Amino acid sequence: MGSYRSMATTLYRIIKYGIQSFLRHGWLSIATIAVIMLALFVFLNLILFNMMAKNAINILRDKIDINVYFNNNVSEDDILKVKRSVESLAEVKNVQYVSRSEALSVFQKRHQDDDTIVQALEVLEENPLSASLNIKANDPSDYPIISAYLNNENLAGLVDQVTYNQNKLVINRLATIVNTFQTVGIALTVILTIISILVALNTIMLTIYSTRDEIGIMRLVGAPNKFIRGPYIVQGMIYGIIAAFLSILLIAPLISIASPYIKVLMPETDIQQYFYGHLFILLLYQLIFGIAIGALSSIIAVRKYMKI
221-234 pLDDT, tens digit each: 666 666 777 787 88
Which residue ranges make up each domain of the chain? 2-60+172-305, 72-157
CA 171 – CA 181 distance, rounded (Å)? 16
| pLDDT the model gives residue 249 | 92
| pLDDT the model gives residue 128 | 73
| pLDDT the model gives residue 280 | 92
pTM: 0.65
Residue of 161, 163, 136, 151 lying closest to 70 (CA atoms):
161
* Tens digit of each residue's pLDDT (9 = 90 or more) over 103-145: 778 777 776 776 676 666 666 667 777 888 888 888 777 778 8
CA distances from 14 to 8, 131, 228, 280, 302 (A): 10, 78, 8, 28, 15
pLDDT of 6 higher than 70: no
pLDDT of 245 higher than 90: yes
Residue of 29, 111, 103 lying closest to 72 (CA atoms):
103
Q: Strands across the sheet with 159-162, in order?
A: 92-98, 132-137, 66-70, 159-162
CATH 3.30.70 fits 72-157, yes or no: yes
pLDDT of 308 higher than 60: no
Mean pLDDT within 76-98: 88
